[in-house]
Amino acid sequence: MAVSETTPGRAARERAAEYLIRRHYFSWPEALPWLIAIACFFIFPDRMTFGSQVLIMVMFALSLDLILGYAGIVTLGHAAFFGIGAYTVALGFVKLGWSEPITGIIAAGIVAGIVGIAAGWFILRYRGLTLLMLTIAFGAMLLESGNIRSDFTGGYDGLPGLTFDPLLGMFQYDLYGRTNYWYVLVVLAVVFFFVRRIVYSPFGQALTGIRENVRRMHAIGSPVHRRLVTVYAISAGIAGIAGGLFTQTNAYVTLTVFDFDTSAKVMVMLILGGTGRLYGAFLGAAVYMILEDKLSKMSPSFWQFGIGLLLVVVVMFAKRGLLGIAEAIGRKTKRGQA
Amino acid sequence: MTAALEIDKLDRSFGALHVTRNVDLTLARGARHALIGPNGAGKTTLINLITGVLRPNSGRVLLDKQDITALSQAERARRGLARTFQINQLFRGLTVLENICMAIGERDGHNTNMWRSAGSKRVVIDEALDHLESLRIVDDALKLVRELPYGRQRLVEIAIALAQRPRVLLLDEPAAGVPSSESHLILDVVAGLDPNIAVLIIEHDMDVVFRFAKEITVLVAGAVFTQGTPQQIRADERVREVYLGQEHGHG
């Protein structure tokens, strides 16, 4: 096919090509969440245990964003993989004496990922409400299995008193969770970089295609099921790493990690922050956790009302989540300057 | 004459509803074949059977002499069978350019790559832009599909199918839903398709059918009513009765 010789045609081509070529470049606002996370270490040095929990939930929400926000897989059973990761680390210590933290979370990711392949291969043949029900059922089955074998899992009393080796054999854990905070932050950064690569890759584009129009993906020759199982396994692995970190930073674990509540909570966080844009997970998890913390101190029995209200307002008036509001403000100020 | 696509005694029922009855159809390489028939004749069902959206109860589909009846939609597409939909099936939230790159990425197997950035293969982008340029929609490359007027979206629909570099292309009412003032844009594209591609078109506008097609199959109640050249079909009294009479009663 002949390339247009006319100047306007050429300019349009160049502009279009540039857009695709530069789309994945880092932009300055992307540094903001990381700078805030680092600043928090210095501003709230005695709240680092809480801070670590926020970062863990960010990672968990990020894993959900990969499948929900990009591939369009609606799940209310993602706690299954968080729980599998949490128990991989816990049982690894209790049964095998595995106390090295970094290999512990790698194992957590691998085990959760393998379960993700198996579960995904089966349930991702379905879509919509059927899929949603299957994810809930899968989570419930894992929870009940853990309950039946509470001699093994500790049930709802949990497995307390887990201790782990110093990080890299050098850094001891402190009472305020400062070591843990850095540990979780670095793992989150690695995971985030990985997820970001995937999202902007041709594979990530194909996932977006599946979300946008699965019929067309079949028609252009995409092996949709294989793509979905692959990303589901990756997401499960990341949720597993988050679960492993949860066990390590809390030094105990109970079956509540498998609860339906955990699955629902992470979905609320993501929707609150905004789906399909990576940083929605950061904003959503942080706002949810901080609100939960503040509101539950103000009103221990009614704190969920506040979060519920915020969710209703966001879903009704800001369909792109809190991040969508931030983006709109960003665009406005940019236009104001110009 | 080598057959690009052969349909051999294809049959399909939904319960008591017999929608495709023993249909035979052959598309030679570079064919220009129109499929016509009254509403509910099973034209779109036939396309769904050919592309693998539906499975036949019996009969075979052969692409380049290879039996593809047991293959999935995606496998058929990768072997060179492309289609457009009667109602747009596009990636509405993505740009036009990304829509085309998606098809190229699947065709060439790039879309398994998780590590490279999607924009790092300049050849893919350039080819996508070439496709847009040949359909004169390169200026819309960065627009989101959902922001385009319906007529332009129909062109994107065709552009995606062409980006698959098909050997056989099935067009399901390409100008459907497009205002008549713009339909010539789409029909010009159809008329100018690569002569090596075998094309099967479903179309209601008889002027278009007679202008474009070299062969016509008339489908009535799921079965082949008659097949022939445009002259034969035009002269066929029975076709006039079952079909043309309804549409061209005044002409």
CATH number at residue B175: 3.40.50.300
pLDDT score recorded for residue A4: 46
pLDDT, tens digit (0-9, with 9 covering 90-100), for A198-248? 999 999 999 999 999 999 999 999 999 999 999 999 999 999 999 999 999
Residue span of the structural domain in which A142 resides: 49-259
pLDDT, tens digit (0-9, with 9 covering 90-100), for A286-331? 999 999 998 888 887 788 888 888 888 888 888 888 998 888 888 8
Chain B positions in Cβ-Cβ contact with residue A7 (cut-off 8 Å): none
Instruction: Please report the ipTM that was assigned to this predicted complex.
Output: 0.92
Mean per-residue pLDDT over chain A, rounded: 91
**A64 lies in some domain:** yes
Among B60-74, B107-121, B153-167, the least confident range: B107-121
**A296 lies in some domain:** no
pLDDT score recorded for residue A126: 93
Phi, psi for B199 (deg, rounded to 5): -120, 130
**pLDDT surpassing 60 at residue A1:** no
* Burial degree of A22 (CB within 10 A; 0-12, 13-18, 19+): exposed
**pLDDT surpassing 50 at residue B1:** yes
The number of domains in chain B is: 1
Which residues, at least 6 apart from B235, have a Cβ–Cβ distance to it below 8 Å?
none
Integer-rounded Cα Rg, in Å, for chain A is 21
Chain A positions in Cβ-Cβ contact with residue B131 (cut-off 8 Å): 1
SS3 B246: helix
Among A185-189, A257-261, B72-76, the least confident range: A257-261
**pLDDT surpassing 80 at residue A283:** yes
Q: At what angle do helices A260-273 and A303-317 cross, to 10 degrees?
A: 50
**A333 lies in some domain:** no
Query: What is the pTM (predicted TM-score) of this model?
Result: 0.92
Percent of chain A with pLDDT over 90: 64
SS3 A169: coil
**pLDDT surpassing 70 at residue B249:** no
pLDDT score recorded for residue A337: 65
Percent of chain A with pLDDT over 70: 97
**pLDDT surpassing 70 at residue B245:** no
**A277 lies in some domain:** no
**A324 lies in some domain:** no
Residue span of the structural domain in which B99 resides: 3-247
**A4 lies in some domain:** no
Among A15-24, A198-207, A327-336, B14-23, the least confident range: A327-336
Q: Could you tell me which residues of chain A have a Cβ less than 8 Å from any Cβ in chain B?
A: 1, 3-4, 9, 12-13, 15-17, 19-24, 197-198, 200-206, 208-209, 212-213, 215-224, 227
The number of domains in chain A is: 1
**A20 lies in some domain:** no
**A5 lies in some domain:** no
Q: What is the DSSP string of A84-137?
A: HHHHHHHHHHHHH----HHHHHHHHHHHHHHHHHHHHHHHTT--HHHHHHHHHH
Chain B positions in Cβ-Cβ contact with residue A229 (cut-off 8 Å): none
Which residues, at least 6 apart from A38, have a Cβ–Cβ distance to it below 8 Å?
A185
**Rounded to whole angstroms, what are the CA distances from A337 to A326, A332, B115?**
17, 9, 36
pLDDT score recorded for residue A7: 62
B165: closest CA among B137, B189, B197? B197
pLDDT score recorded for residue A170: 75
pLDDT, tens digit (0-9, with 9 covering 90-100), for A245-258? 999 999 889 999 99
